[in-house]
């Protein structure tokens, strides 16, 4: 069961800052072709662009070859049903639609752009969407209220030759169907036999029933309810043609009546609509999908209190079995776009549901289970895959594409399905999955995180985000009044009651800290007064003493002072010298690739044995991030040419690893292009690396640091680290240019124990 005390909470200020900084909105348009020279511009626009124009005019289907149409979806809304907030208008829906657009990109590498239509007239919306059809490969309708959404979608499907998909209806239906397939298997029941009660006769509810009926559920076994009760044959109050299609002959008039003896309850209604008594009256092994958001019709705790045999799903991420639309729409469109589909039909939706159900029954990769902090195994608490399962991208779209081809919806069928699956695997940027796994592991550990620099607003905002994000307890080193003032200035004044402020001046542990420090440093030129002053006045030393004495579980610092200074101060408490086996590994993430670079922090001029240590530490960090390590010892030469004294140690390092008999791939010395580029590496067929290196060991700290900063500044790479490894306790040191997110990432690494010796 989920721990309700760990529910994520964000403030209005945090939400607004997220959408405003560093640039307003959630995405930007980036050119995918060179745009630097006069020749580039001549090809991109006039006169070169005339050639594909004429080609498309002659053969319209070539628009998929020469433009973005084949990988572009329009996310369209009029803002009449925004996220359960109601009719707030087209402009107010824009943040939601931008969010939907970036989810398409994040999960399935589908380009999407949001379009907000300022009209509540279905005919105007239908005409507007019809007129913009040439620009897109598919249309995703969103947050349009019922019953207008039914009219709009149906008409657009009839008149357009690209997929039109209303996610509020069909997205929920597909994920619901996937979960129900597995829930019924676990309960030993068949869809054609079960009695289904659905509460909520809006767009999602009606779509759920229609899809389940197309999968075999019998009309007479399905009871639909709305705010006025059961929709039965003969009812006239509050009816429309879409509800009437699901009216049944029944004596039941209330939801309570309908639930008696029911096998399945599906809720897309409101919090508290279902009582424990209703659950108790259901059949054996009842299936309860309480999908109301943000709070379900009945919580899993309440349902299981009266029915231990119940299989329960909700729309919440903090409970098992989340019915999450992001499992469906990105992959449905990915499969549909890749066959240039004319539509997304029922067969394609069912194929999506069945693929999701099959995936949940398969063995879950260790990295997925590790990211969620628990064993994921098909059963009552795991009937739907997790949204961050990396297999979704190459499992679901092929199933959708095949169904589209089998039913005649494809303009361009996929000939080589194995090749298509491999191309899907290559589409995914590992960055988000790695960061998500890192944060999920941290959330599971619930660490007491020490934030050493409580006088910095960035650190305070990160500490509040840590606390409110359900990551654990935030311990901020600082003066109470100063922390309070800075939080108030940041619009987070109420957070001072949530985080724990630790002031060295009044710490009850100060005497123990001072004694510890004096015992450690008394033979290193420090007298009692020196060590007392350090423990009292230096926040880095004080924070390290907290960690050393178990008064916190992890430590993050470095946002306000240069890393060399912070490392020296931390070294007063912990052994952080090169000879202690400490190494700094920096993760660089760019354009779907991740490499780890070392040593960026500790070893000034490592020799062969040190380089081998750096490689070993880098491999451990890589595995902690879900990578299979391939280490390259870098130089300006390849395997002895050109011969140079400076390259000799890089050539010797692999022989050190040979003697150690390590369990990861390594090779060197080599240039960076040979390490990372398959074609360049092919010139050296004797290389022991089976693929591009993902751990780069540099000849010296300065070359490592220069490489990281160059990638960050010139290429816009995401940089995490340096990750301090080989320390007895989890300490991580940020850079002075760190953002709030950077500090949070380093705290997550610390909480996950990625660099600590276990």
Catalytic residues: 45, 100
- Beta strand segments in 401-541, E: 447-451, 472-477, 500-502
Question: Residue 641 carries which DSSP code?
Answer: B
Side-chain-facing half-sphere of 758: CA atoms under 13 Å: 9
Task: Give CA separation, 97 vs 75, 76, 292, 316, 494, in Å.
Answer: 6, 7, 20, 20, 31
Structure tokens at 331: 């992959």
Beta bridge mates, 226? 229
Please enumerate in sequence order all residues whose Cβ is within 8 A of that of 187, keeping only pairs 6 or more positions apart, or say none.
Answer: 263, 284, 285, 287, 311
Task: Give CA separation, 228 vs 82, 202, 248, 274, in Å.
Answer: 23, 13, 15, 15
Structure tokens at 680: 């360049």
Task: Give CA separation, 746 vs 230, 335, 449, 547, 625, in Å.
Answer: 53, 37, 11, 16, 13
Please enumerate in sequence order all residues whose Cβ is within 8 A of that of 458, keeping only pairs 6 or more positions apart, or say none.
Answer: 559, 738, 739, 740, 743
541 sits in which H/E element: helix 539-548
Please enumerate in sequence order all residues whose Cβ is within 8 A of that of 656, keeping only pairs 6 or more positions apart, or say none.
Answer: 608, 609, 611, 612
Burial class (CB in 10 A: 0-12, 13-18, 19+), 409: buried
Side-chain-facing half-sphere of 216: CA atoms under 13 Å: 11
Q: Are 380 and 186 in contact (CB under 8 A)?
A: yes
Q: Are 197 and 262 in contact (CB under 8 A)?
A: yes
Of residues 484, 473, 469, the one with CA closest to residue 451: 473
Q: Are 90 and 121 in contact (CB under 8 A)?
A: no
**Tokens 């080609």 — which residue?**
55
Structure tokens at 582: 């400490």
Structure tokens at 24: 């307003």
d(CA 378, CA 362): 7
DSSP 59-105: -GGGHHHHSGGGGEEEEEE-SSS-TTS----TGGGHHHHHHHHHHHH
Backbone angles phi, psi at 596, to 5 degrees: -105, 135
Strand arrangement of the beta sheet that strand 630-634 belongs to: 665-670, 630-634, 695-697, 593-598, 583-590, 718-725
Q: What spatial distance separates the first Cα and last Cα of the chain, rounded to whole Å?
A: 29
Provide the CA 607 distance to its chain's centre, in angstroms: 39
Query: In degrees to the nearest 10, what's the CA dihedral of 425, 428, 432, 437?
Result: 0
Radius of gyration from C-alpha coordinates of the chain: 29
Q: Are strands 718-725 and 583-590 parallel, antiparallel or unpaired?
A: antiparallel
Q: Are strands 500-502 and 554-557 parallel, antiparallel or unpaired?
A: unpaired
Structure tokens at 713: 């500044």
Q: What is the largest CA-CA distance in the chain?
A: 94
Q: Are 64 and 412 in contact (CB under 8 A)?
A: yes
d(CA 377, CA 446): 23
Beta bridge mates, 322? 314
């Amino acid at each position: 069961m989920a721990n309700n005390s760990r529910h994520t909470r964000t403030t209005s200020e945090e939400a607004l800052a997220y959408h405003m900084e560093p640039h307003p909105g959630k995405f930007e348009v980036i050119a995918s072709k060179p745009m630097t020279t006069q020749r580039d511009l001549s090809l991109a626009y006039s006169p070169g662009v005339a050639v594909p124009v004429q080609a498309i005019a002659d053969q319209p289907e070539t628009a998929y070859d020469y433009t973005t149409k084949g990988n572009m979806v329009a996310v369209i809304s009029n803002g009449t049903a925004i996220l359960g907030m109601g009719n707030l208008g087209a402009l107010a829906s824009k943040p939601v639609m931008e969010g939907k657009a970036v989810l398409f990109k994040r999960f399935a590498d589908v380009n999407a752009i949001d379009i907000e239509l300022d009209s509540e007239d279905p005919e105007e919306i239908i005409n507007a969407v019809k007129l913009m059809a040439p620009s897109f490969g598919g249309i995703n309708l969103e947050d349009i209220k019922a019953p207008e959404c039914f009219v709009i979608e149906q008409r657009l499907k009839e008149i357009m030759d690209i997929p039109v998909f209303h996610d509020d209806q069909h997205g929920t239906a597909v994920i619901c169907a996937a979960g129900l397939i597995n829930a019924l298997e676990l309960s030993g029941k068949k869809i054609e036999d079960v009695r289904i009660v659905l509460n909520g006769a809006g767009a999602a509810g009606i779509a759920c029933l229609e899809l389940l009926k197309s999968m075999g559920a019998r009309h007479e076994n399905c009871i639909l309810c709305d705010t006025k009760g059961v929709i039965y044959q003969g009812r006239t109050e509050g009816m429309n043609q879409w509800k009437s299609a699901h009216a049944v002959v029944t004596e039941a008039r209330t939801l309570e009546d309908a639930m008696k003896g029911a096998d399945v309850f599906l809720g897309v209604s409101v919090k508290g609509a279902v009582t424990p008594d209703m659950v108790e009256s259901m059949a054996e092994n009842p299936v309860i999908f309480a999908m109301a958001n943000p709070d379900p019709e009945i919580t899993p705790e309440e349902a299981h209190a009266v029915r231990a045999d119940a299989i329960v799903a909700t729309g919440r991420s903090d409970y098992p079995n989340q019915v999450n639309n992001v499992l469906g729409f990105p992959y449905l469109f990915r499969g549909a776009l890749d066959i240039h589909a004319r539509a997304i039909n029922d067969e394609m939706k069912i194929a999506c549901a069945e693929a999701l159900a099959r995936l949940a029954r398969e063995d879950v990769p260790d990295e997925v289970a590790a990211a969620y902090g628990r064993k994921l195994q098909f059963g009552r608490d795991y009937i739907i895959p997790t949204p961050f399962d990396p297999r979704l991208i190459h499992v679901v779209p092929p199933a959708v594409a095949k169904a589209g081809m089998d039913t005649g919806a494809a303009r361009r069928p996929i000939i080589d399905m194995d090749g298509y699956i491999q191309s899907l695997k290559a589409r995914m940027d590992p960055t988000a999955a790695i960061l998500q796994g890192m944060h999920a592991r941290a959330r599971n550990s619930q660490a007491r995180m020490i934030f050493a620099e409580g006088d910095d607003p960035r650190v305070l905002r990160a500490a509040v985000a840590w606390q409110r994000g359900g990551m654990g307890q935030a311990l901020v080193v600082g003066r109470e009044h100063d922390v309070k003032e800075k939080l108030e200035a940041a619009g987070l004044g109420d957070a001072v009651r949530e985080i724990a402020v630790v002031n060295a001046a009044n710490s009850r542990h100060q005497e123990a800290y001072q004694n510890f420090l004096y015992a450690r440093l008394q033979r290193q030129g420090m007298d009692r007064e020196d060590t007392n002053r350090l423990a009292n006045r230096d926040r880095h030393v004080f924070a390290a003493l907290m960690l050393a004495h178990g008064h916190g579980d992890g430590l993050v610092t470095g946002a306000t002072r240069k890393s060399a200074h912070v490392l020296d101060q931390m070294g007063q408490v912990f052994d952080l010298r090169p000879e202690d086996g400490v190494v700094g590994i920096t993760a660089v993430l760019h354009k779907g690739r991740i490499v780890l670079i070392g040593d960026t922090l500790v070893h000034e001029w490592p020799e062969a044995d040190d380089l081998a240590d750096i490689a070993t530490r880098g491999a451990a960090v890589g595995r902690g991030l879900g990578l299979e390590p391939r280490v390259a010892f870098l130089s300006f030469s390849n395997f002895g040419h050109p011969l140079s004294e400076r390259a000799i140690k890089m050539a010797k390092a692999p022989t050190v690893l040979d003697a150690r008999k390590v369990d990861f791939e390594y090779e060197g010395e080599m240039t960076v292009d040979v390490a990372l580029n398959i074609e360049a590496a092919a010139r050296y067929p004797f290389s022991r690396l089976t693929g591009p290196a993902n751990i780069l060991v540099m000849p010296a700290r300065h070359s490592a640091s220069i490489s990281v900063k160059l990638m960050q500044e010139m290429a816009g790479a995401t940089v995490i680290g340096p990750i301090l490894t080989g320390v007895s306790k989890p300490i991580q040191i940020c850079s002075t240019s760190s953002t709030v997110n950077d500090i949070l990432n380093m705290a997550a690494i610390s909480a996950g124990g990625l660099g600590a010796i276990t």
